[in-house]
Amino acid sequence: MVVRTIITGATGSMGAAACEALAAKGVAVLMACRNIKKAEAVRDGILSRYPAADIEIRQLDLCSMASVREFAESVAPGSVDAIFHNAGAISRRYELTADGLEKTFSTNYFGPWLLTSLLLSKMPQDARIVSMVSLSCRYVTLCEHDLQPTEKDFSQLGSYARSKRALLSFSLELARRNPGLRVNLADPGIVATGLIDLGHWFDPLTDFLFKPFCNSPEKGVQPALRALEASQTSPRYYVGKGAKTIPGRYLTPELDAKIWAGTEAVLSE
Ligand SMILES: NC(=O)c1ccc[n+]([C@@H]2O[C@H](COP(=O)([O-])OP(=O)(O)OC[C@H]3O[C@@H](n4cnc5c(N)ncnc54)[C@H](OP(=O)(O)O)[C@@H]3O)[C@@H](O)[C@H]2O)c1
Q: Is the CB of 256 under 6 A from ligand 1?
A: no
Q: What is the pTM of this model?
A: 0.96
Mean pLDDT of 191-216: 72
Q: Please say whether the beta carbons of 238 and 224 come within 8 A.
A: yes
Q: How far apart are CA 118 and CA 73, in angstroms?
A: 8
Q: Please say whether the beta carbons of 21 and 53 come within 8 A.
A: no
- pLDDT, residue 57, reads 98
Query: If you take atom 24 of ligand 1, which residue's CA is the nearest one?
Result: 87
pLDDT above 70 for 2 = no
Q: How far apart are CA 74 and CA 147, in angstroms?
A: 28
Q: Which atom of ligand 1 is nearest to the CA of 61?
A: 32
Mean pLDDT of 141-166: 95
> Average model confidence (pLDDT) for the chain?
94
Distance 40 CA to ligand 1 centre (A): 17
- pLDDT, residue 197, reads 67
User: Among 92, 160, 195, which residue has the most ligand 1 atoms within 8 Å of its CB, making it the best to mutate?
Assistant: 195
Helix, strand, coil shares of the chain, percent, nearest 5, are 50, 15, 35
Question: What tens digit of pLDDT does each residue of 86-133 get?
Answer: 999 999 999 999 999 999 999 999 999 999 999 999 999 999 999 999
pLDDT above 80 for 239 = yes
Which sign does the torsion angle of CA 230, 235, 238, 244 carry? Answer: negative
Distance 22 CA to ligand 1 centre (A): 18
Lowest-pLDDT range, 7-16, 35-44, 58-67, 207-216?
207-216
Q: Is the CB of 91 under 6 A from ligand 1?
A: no
**What is the CATH classification number for the domain harbouring 51?**
3.40.50.720
Question: What tens digit of pLDDT does each residue of 66-76 get?
Answer: 999 999 999 99
Q: Is the CB of 162 under 6 A from ligand 1?
A: no
Mean pLDDT of 26-42: 98
Spell out a b/e string for 71-90, using b for 16 or more CB atoms within 10 Å of the CB, else e.
Answer: bbeebeeeebbbbbbbbbbb
Distance 139 CA to ligand 1 centre (A): 20
Q: Is the CB of 97 under 6 A from ligand 1?
A: no
pLDDT above 80 for 211 = no
- What percent of the chain is predicted at pLDDT more than 70? 93
Mean pLDDT of 173-177: 98
Q: Is the CB of 38 under 6 A from ligand 1?
A: yes
**Domain coverage including residue 47:** 5-268
Total structural domains within the chain = 1
